Amino acid sequence: MTSSHLHAVILAGGSGTRFWPLSRRSAPKQLIALLSDRTMLQETVARVAPLVPPDRVWIVTGREHKDEVDRQVRAIGGGGPVIVEPVGRNTGPAIAVAAHRLVERDPEAVMAVLPADHVVAKPEQFLRCVSRGEEIARRGFLVTIGLVPRRPETGYGYIKRGEPLQSSGSQGEGDGNLDVFRVERFVEKPDRKTAEHYISQGGYLWNGGMFIWRAATILEEIRAHAPALAQAAAEIATALRDGSDEGRVKELYERIEPVSIDYAVMEHTTRAAVIPIEMGWSDVGSWAALDDVAEHDERGNVVSGRVLDIDSERSILYAQDRLVATIGLQDMIVVDTPDATLVCRKDRAQDVRRVVDALERQRAQEHVVHKTVQRPWGTYTVLEEGDGYKIKRIVVNAGARLSLQSHHRRSEHWVVVAGTARVTREDRVYDVGTNESTFIPPQTKHRLENADPSIPLQIIEVQSGPYLGEDDIVRFDDDFGRK
Amino acid sequence: MTSSHLHAVILAGGSGTRFWPLSRRSAPKQLIALLSDRTMLQETVARVAPLVPPDRVWIVTGREHKDEVDRQVRAIGGGGPVIVEPVGRNTGPAIAVAAHRLVERDPEAVMAVLPADHVVAKPEQFLRCVSRGEEIARRGFLVTIGLVPRRPETGYGYIKRGEPLQSSGSQGEGDGNLDVFRVERFVEKPDRKTAEHYISQGGYLWNGGMFIWRAATILEEIRAHAPALAQAAAEIATALRDGSDEGRVKELYERIEPVSIDYAVMEHTTRAAVIPIEMGWSDVGSWAALDDVAEHDERGNVVSGRVLDIDSERSILYAQDRLVATIGLQDMIVVDTPDATLVCRKDRAQDVRRVVDALERQRAQEHVVHKTVQRPWGTYTVLEEGDGYKIKRIVVNAGARLSLQSHHRRSEHWVVVAGTARVTREDRVYDVGTNESTFIPPQTKHRLENADPSIPLQIIEVQSGPYLGEDDIVRFDDDFGRK
Q: At A412, which CATH number?
A: 2.60.120.10
**A206 lies in the same domain as A243:** yes
Q: Do B343 and A326 touch (CB under 8 A)?
A: yes
- For residue A389, the model assigns a pLDDT of 86
Give domain status of residue A367, yes or no: no
Please write the tens of the pLDDT for every residue from A401-446: 999 999 999 999 998 988 999 999 999 999 999 888 888 999 999 9
Q: Do B343 and A332 touch (CB under 8 A)?
A: yes
Point out the least confidently predicted range of A215-229, B349-363, B375-389.
Answer: B375-389
For residue B338, give the chain A residue with the closest CA.
A322
For residue B341, give the chain A residue with the closest CA.
A324
Q: Do B347 and A328 touch (CB under 8 A)?
A: yes
Shortest CA gap B105–chain A (Å):
48
Domain end, chosen from B316, B337, B361, is at B361
Does the predicted interface ipTM exceed a cut of 0.90? no
Q: Do B340 and A358 touch (CB under 8 A)?
A: no
Tell which of A318, A336, A341 to mutate to test the B interface (max B CBs under 10 Å): A341
Domain end, chosen from A360, A393, A424, is at A360
Please write the tens of the pLDDT for every residue from B50-103: 999 999 999 999 988 998 899 899 999 988 899 999 999 999 999 999 999 999
A399: Cβ–Cβ under 8 A, 6 or more apart, which residues?
A450, A451, A452, A453
Which of A336, A354, A366 lies nearest to residue B341, judging by beta carbons?
A336
For residue A371, give the chain B residue with the closest CA.
B322
Q: Do B417 and A308 touch (CB under 8 A)?
A: no
Give domain status of residue B482, yes or no: no
How many domains, in total, are found in chain B? 3
- For residue B172, the model assigns a pLDDT of 47
Q: Is the pLDDT of residue B425 over 90?
A: yes
pLDDT band at B470 (very low <50, low <70, confident <90, very high): confident
Which chain A residues are Cβ-neighbours of B357 within 8 angstroms?
A: none
**A262 lies in the same domain as A346:** no
Q: Do A308 and B393 touch (CB under 8 A)?
A: no
**B195 lies in the same domain as B273:** yes
CA angle (A136 as vertex; A131, A140 as ends), nearest 5: 135
Tell which of A19, A20, A322, A323 to mutate to test the B interface (max B CBs under 10 Å): A323
Given a contact cutoff of 8 angstroms between Cβ atoms, the answer to whether A310 and B351 are in contact is yes
Q: Do B364 and A323 touch (CB under 8 A)?
A: yes
Give domain status of residue B412, yes or no: yes
Q: Is A371 exposed, middle or buried (0-12, 13-18, 19+ CB in 10 A)?
A: middle
Domain end, chosen from A360, A382, A416, is at A360
- For residue B124, the model assigns a pLDDT of 96
For the CA atoms of A27, A33, A34, A40, the dihedral, rounded to the nearest 10 degrees, stands at 80
CATH number of the domain encompassing residue A265: 3.90.550.10
Give domain status of residue B471, yes or no: yes
**A68 lies in the same domain as A210:** yes
For residue A326, give the chain B residue with the closest CA.
B343
Please write the tens of the pLDDT for every residue from B8-24: 999 999 777 889 999 98
Give domain status of residue A294, yes or no: yes
Q: Do B343 and A358 touch (CB under 8 A)?
A: no
Which chain B residues are Cβ-neighbours of A330 within 8 angstroms?
A: 345
Q: Do B364 and A415 touch (CB under 8 A)?
A: no
Which chain A residues are Cβ-neighbours of B18 within 8 angstroms?
A: none
Give domain status of residue A50, yes or no: yes
Q: Is the pLDDT of residue A252 over 90?
A: yes
**B389 lies in the same domain as B469:** yes
Shortest CA gap A38–chain B (Å):
23
**A271 lies in the same domain as A295:** no
**A89 lies in the same domain as A175:** yes
For the CA atoms of A13, A15, A18, A22, the dihedral, rounded to the nearest 10 degrees, stands at 100
Q: Is the pLDDT of residue B169 over 80?
A: no
Shortest CA gap B414–chain A (Å):
10
Q: Do B417 and A388 touch (CB under 8 A)?
A: yes
Rounded Cα–Cα distance for residues B111 and B101 (Å): 11
Which of A327, A332, A435 lies nearest to residue B411, judging by beta carbons?
A435
**A323 lies in the same domain as A387:** no
Q: Do B348 and A364 touch (CB under 8 A)?
A: no
Q: What is the helix (H) or strand (E) element at residue A236, kind and residue range?
A: helix A227-241
**B119 lies in the same domain as B255:** yes
Give domain status of residue A427, yes or no: yes
What is the amino acid identity at position B176?
A: G
Shortest CA gap A265–chain B (Å):
39
pLDDT band at A45 (very low <50, low <70, confident <90, very high): very high
Which of A325, A326, A462 lies nearest to residue B417, judging by beta carbons?
A462
- For residue B372, the model assigns a pLDDT of 82
pTM (predicted TM-score): 0.84
Shortest CA gap B435–chain A (Å):
7
pLDDT band at A143 (very low <50, low <70, confident <90, very high): very high
Q: Do B308 and A460 touch (CB under 8 A)?
A: no
3-state secondary structure of A476: strand
Give domain status of residue B207, yes or no: yes
Most confident segment among B41-50, B405-414, B433-442? B41-50
Q: Do B355 and A393 touch (CB under 8 A)?
A: no
Q: Do B417 and A348 touch (CB under 8 A)?
A: no
What residues make up the domain containing A407? 372-477
Burial B6-42 (b: 16+ CB within 10 A, else e): bbbbbbbbbebbbbbbbbbbbbbbbbbebbeebbbbb
3-state secondary structure of B15: coil
- Counted across chains A and B, CB pairs separated by less than 8 A come out at 173
pLDDT band at A176 (very low <50, low <70, confident <90, very high): low
**A221 lies in the same domain as A336:** no
CA distances from B273 to A279, A471, B144 (A): 77, 71, 6
Which chain B residues are Cβ-neighbours of A418 within 8 angstroms?
A: 386-389
Which chain A residues are Cβ-neighbours of B287 within 8 angstroms?
A: none
Given a contact cutoff of 8 angstroms between Cβ atoms, the answer to whether A444 and A427 are in contact is no
Shortest CA gap A342–chain B (Å):
5
The sign one gets for the Cα dihedral A214, A216, A222, A225 is: negative
pLDDT band at B1 (very low <50, low <70, confident <90, very high): very low
**B274 lies in the same domain as B312:** no
**B255 lies in the same domain as B154:** yes
